[in-house]
Amino acid sequence: MSTALNRALEAVLEAADTEALRRSTARLIEVYRSGAPPERQVLRDPVSAAAYAAYRMPATHAAVARVLRHALDVAPDLPTASLLDLGGGTGAAAWAVADAVDDLEHVEVVDGSADALALGRRLGQHGPPPLAGARWTHRDLAAGASLPAADLVTVSYVLGELPGELPARVVDAAAAAGRTVVVVEPGTPRGFGAVLAARERLLAAGLHLLAPCPHEAACPLAAAGDWCHLAVRLDRTALHRRLKGAALGHEDEKVSYVVATRDPAHARALPAGRVLRLPVKRKGLVQLEVCHADGTAGRELVTRRDPPRYRAARHVAQGGGGRRRERTRQTGR
């Protein structure tokens, strides 16, 4: 995770009542585990906002950071001077964007929780200039007013909290406001369902996919009853371990996502394939699950009888892809 964010969390939460945070964390885990849209504001007081920041922000930051890496790998010249972070809460996605790009100037975080925004603002004071100078806007996304235009719009771990038609409306508003839209959800069948619905709306709004899909056809995983996700490993902070009563020093955050952009030029370099699962490596053999540019997905076996492909396959990471032509072989195609 971002060491700067880590330091900010330590500085701001240093004096917090650990017992109160632990109780609040337990409640948040319960709410999020249910998977259903909550009936009332989840981050509804300063303690729940602090508990969220301590136990979820590092993971959502790591997830968004990974998603951004994929998108910037496909489109390194993506405009990223301004960011609108919808349902941005304490600002994890904004921190991830600020860490990932050099030219970020304007950040606006919009959220329905005044307590999350207040904490986000305090954390941001410990961050880089775009975060320290960010605008923190208290607003209910259901209110439906138009959104300010931005190069990048992030919608991170939000859609699953919204009831009824609101996820669709928020995605449409994000597509209208942003040149590039980043939607991130938990890597569960339900989170993937929200991402898939968002993907359809982003395409219908005329945007072009950047990641993770190497094509804009129907998702072959959804057709097979599977769900597209990857795991991001991150170190747990000491505070995180205390709040969750966790023994392990790390956790794997599972994430589903879609990134789409208005400018087709940026989508021109879509990879020829995307590795969907952690590659299985055996002696002399690597097994890859790959989503292909032609809209199909399937298993590929790469053996050491093809040394260049074998070497590339041994090093490809989950979520990795090959640029058209020059890096096609990385994914085993």
Ligand X SMILES: C[S@@+](CC[C@H](N)C(=O)[O-])C[C@H]1O[C@@H](n2cnc3c(N)ncnc32)[C@H](O)[C@@H]1O
Q: Which residues bind ligand X (CB under 6 A)?
A: 43, 56-57, 60, 87-89, 92-93, 111-113, 116, 140-142, 156-158, 161-162
Least distance (Å) between residue 191 CB and ligand X: 11
Least distance (Å) between residue 34 CB and ligand X: 13
Strands (DSSP E) found in 72-216: 82-86, 106-111, 135-138, 150-156, 178-186, 208-211
The residue (of 43 and 316) whose beta carbon lies closer to ligand X is: 43
Least distance (Å) between residue 92 CB and ligand X: 4
The residue (of 239 and 293) whose beta carbon lies closer to ligand X is: 239
What number of other Cβ atoms are within 10 A of residue 171's Cβ? 28
Would you call 233 exposed, middle or buried from its count of C-beta atoms within 10 A (0-12, 13-18, 19+)?
Answer: exposed
Least distance (Å) between residue 44 CB and ligand X: 9
The residue (of 90 and 261) whose beta carbon lies closer to ligand X is: 90
Least distance (Å) between residue 55 CB and ligand X: 11
d(CA 166, CA 143): 10
Least distance (Å) between residue 253 CB and ligand X: 11
The residue (of 118 and 285) whose beta carbon lies closer to ligand X is: 118
The residue (of 197 and 269) whose beta carbon lies closer to ligand X is: 197
Least distance (Å) between residue 87 CB and ligand X: 3
Q: Which residues of 292-314 are buried (b: 16+ CB within 10 A; e: fewer)?
A: bbeeebeebebeeeeeebbebbe
Residue with tokens 């489109």: 75
Secondary structure (H, E, C), 295-315: CCEEEEEEECCCHHHHHHHHH
C-beta separation of 310 from 260 below 8 A: no
Least distance (Å) between residue 93 CB and ligand X: 5
Q: What is the CA radius of gyration of the chain?
A: 20
The residue (of 120 and 332) whose beta carbon lies closer to ligand X is: 120
The residue (of 60 and 261) whose beta carbon lies closer to ligand X is: 60
Q: Which residues of 129-167 are buried (b: 16+ CB within 10 A; e: fewer)?
A: ebbeebebeeeebeeeeebeebbbbbbbbbbbbbeeebb
The residue (of 186 and 214) whose beta carbon lies closer to ligand X is: 186
